[in-house]
Structure 1
Amino acid sequence: MPRARLARLVTLIAALLGAAALARADVGGSVSLQTDARERGMSYSAEKPSAQLGLAWDGDGGWYAGAQLAHARFVQRHGARLQAYGGRVVELVPGLDGEAGVIAQAFENVSHYDFQEVYVGLLGERWSLRLYHSPNYYGSGQRSVYGEFNLRWPVAKGVGLMGHVGVLRGYGATAAAVYAAAHGPTRVDLRAGASWLLGESCELQLAWVSASRGGPYTWSDAARRRSVLLGATATF
């Protein structure tokens, strides 16, 4: 993605969130530092420390939107990674909500990795279940389905346990399928850890992550498949 295009996207998102603030919606932000930025078990920071800036808007009627900006490293190419999302949460029954939304990913200098997903989910008080679909996952030419289950469980004041399991599967016969053929079209990722609140607006997380091989990925699979991560997030 050219720098000019990335700058325009960031400016547009900031303007939209600013307009939402004037419309009496809730707008917030976050800054995160991580020893290794991983998503669905895969490192997109080449196993190096990474910082991430996030903006989020919560509107009336359960509508929400936001964006996250980070630095991505893929083999010898690196640049900004922008994720924008939007959706809606509705109450189904007391204690159980449903949601649906869209996510767009854009990468500076590796624009062929750009992709979009739609998702639906169920949200409980301490858990969430989501299903995602992409027509061209990471520009691989393959469609994908990803399901995840997340759990957060408080064990003491300001202390909680968290768990995650996700399953990604690519499908569709393309040239990119040759990459997945050695390990199959399915990848499973796990995360387990604990979180600590530091004051009212900071959280510290320590987690163990693991991922199998396979799935519709097009970049190097040389990163460690198991790792211990430390991260800190401040909200404002």
Structure 2
Amino acid sequence: MLKSCVILIFSIFALAGKACAQVSGSITLASDYSYRGISLSNEQPVAQLNLVYDAPDGWYAGAFGSKVKLNGNSSDGEQILLYSGFSQRLRSGLIWEAGATAALFPKSTDLNYGEVFTGLMFDNLSARIYYSPNYIGLNSKTLYLEANADYQLQERLDLFSHIGWLVYPDGKVGQVNRNRVDVRIGVGSNFSSWKLQLAYGITRPQQSYGTGKYQNNSRNSLVFSASYLF
């Protein structure tokens, strides 16, 4: 499935380019790389880059890169996340979307995995469901359901929240114990070309997840990030 996701993503990149897509991106410094309730940087600061192509007909594609530290390893690695999809606004104002992602770990290729997703957005609310046949090298099928909300407190101050649920639908012995919920709430401020965020995250249950090179623990976390938008 990973190969299929990569092919689909690059195909959409090509379509977006032909459609005079708008290009945007960000460079971020974060105190931790918290991903679905797990620290992929061993609770260390990371630099991240995100690039997005948005086509006027609804197609979009992007690439995200970040430093990672897995299993408490002192040596740095990288994660490259490719994603693409299609979104369309309905007359009601509701937006639906569908797409695919491919997560690549050049120094730990056994952790590579692909996902497909679909979702809905309305005003400042959004929800997605992801499916992976081999999530982050665990040789297990997973579903990840998430919901997000944003609320403007003041002109330059926003409140945001997230809840996610990782599920192992195979139901293998002991696997249900690795199902987890992650919750995050924070505040963000935008000024000029900069975006600052401070978020507190809670993960339940708190335990070690993964096998082999991926043995990171889930922990509650307070994460600060500063992004330059372009």
State the TM-score bracket (shorter-chain normalisation): 0.7 to 0.9
CA distance in 1, matches of 2:226, 2:168: 32
TM-score of the superposition, structure 2-length normalised?
Answer: 0.86
AA aligned to 2:119 is G
Contact 1:144 1:216 survives alignment (8 Å): no
* Aligned counterpart, 1:124: 122
SS in 2 for 1:61: coil
SS in 1 for 2:225: strand
SS in 2 for 1:122: strand
CA distance in 2, matches of 1:90, 1:160: 26
* Aligned counterpart, 1:232: 226
Runs of 4+ in structure 1 deviating by more than 6 angstroms, as ranges, are none
* Aligned counterpart, 1:152: 150
CA distance in 2, matches of 1:137, 1:37: 18
SS in 1 for 2:57: helix
* Aligned counterpart, 2:3: none
Structure 1 stretch displaced more, 57-66 or 165-174: 165-174
* Aligned counterpart, 1:210: 202
Out of 62, 69, 73, the position equivalent to 1:66 is 62
CA distance in 1, matches of 2:184, 2:154: 21
Percentage of identical aligned residues: 32
Change (3 A) 1:215 1:101: farther
Contact 2:208 2:215 survives alignment (8 Å): no
Change (3 A) 1:96 1:22: closer
TM-score of the superposition, structure 1-length normalised?
Answer: 0.84
* Aligned counterpart, 2:34: 38
SS in 2 for 1:112: helix
Unaligned runs of 5+ in 1: 1-8
Unaligned runs of 5+ in 2: 1-5
CA distance in 2, matches of 1:216, 1:102: 24
1:160 deviation in Å?
Answer: 0.5
* Aligned counterpart, 1:56: 52
Which is bigger in relative contact order (C-alpha 8 A, separation at least 6)? Answer: 2
